[in-house]
Chain A
């Protein structure tokens, strides 16, 4: 799978981490750190038991938004190698909906990129979560109004990414 992808297949954080590490090791200072993030389907949301989720994406625009996020990350953290996979379709409790892996020469950049990327995905990726509840009923989750040029949103993501520095 390419480093940036929207897919119906199960995700592997191990595989994506290995892929970015291999690429990072081949350039510049070499790879000194890999961090990863996996977002999983929770069994409860705001007090309601969830049986499963369905994710939907506007796939061509989602990929472009992933490319924008990668460009932003590379501007802020030069030399970082990013992997970002989002799953769509039906997902069961405990399955990964998103995996992110960041490889860099040093740990600070790798940690920060992972956090920055998940914040930006939640802000601008045209992907929607549909929750199905135990006992019937379902609901679309409404998050951020997507605006890829909103500088304040980008700064918020950067601030969250760097909060531990």
Chain B
């Protein structure tokens, strides 16, 4: 199945793209999407311990399951205000 990945701030700059399509097996978790993303963009690996995630614009966990067509977002540490 295919999911859409959205990257923000440093993650987008490092990957060179804000929107990335990932092909992954049915029943995959957000963590597996992250691992597939890092395989394609190894420069993102250092963010593994500080990244937050969202599925379809709702905060999620790395163990959350994703479905075909979902929008999975990876968020570096935030700095609003």
Residue of B nearest to A148 (CB): B59
CB distance A146 to B8 under 8 Å?
no
CB distance A142 to B76 under 8 Å?
yes
Residue of B nearest to A118 (CB): B81
CB distance B81 to A58 under 8 Å?
no
The interface residues of chain A, by DSSP majority, are classed as: mixed
Interface residues on A, range: 20 to 34
The interface residues of chain B, by DSSP majority, are classed as: mixed
CB distance B79 to A61 under 8 Å?
no
What B residues does A57 contact at CB under 8 A? Answer: 80
Please tell me the number of chain B residues within 8 Å of chain A, measured between CB atoms.
20
What B residues does A144 contact at CB under 8 A? Answer: 77-78
Shortest B44–chain A CB gap in Å is 14
B contact set with A: CB distance below 8 Å: 6, 8-10, 13, 50-52, 54, 57-59, 73, 75-81
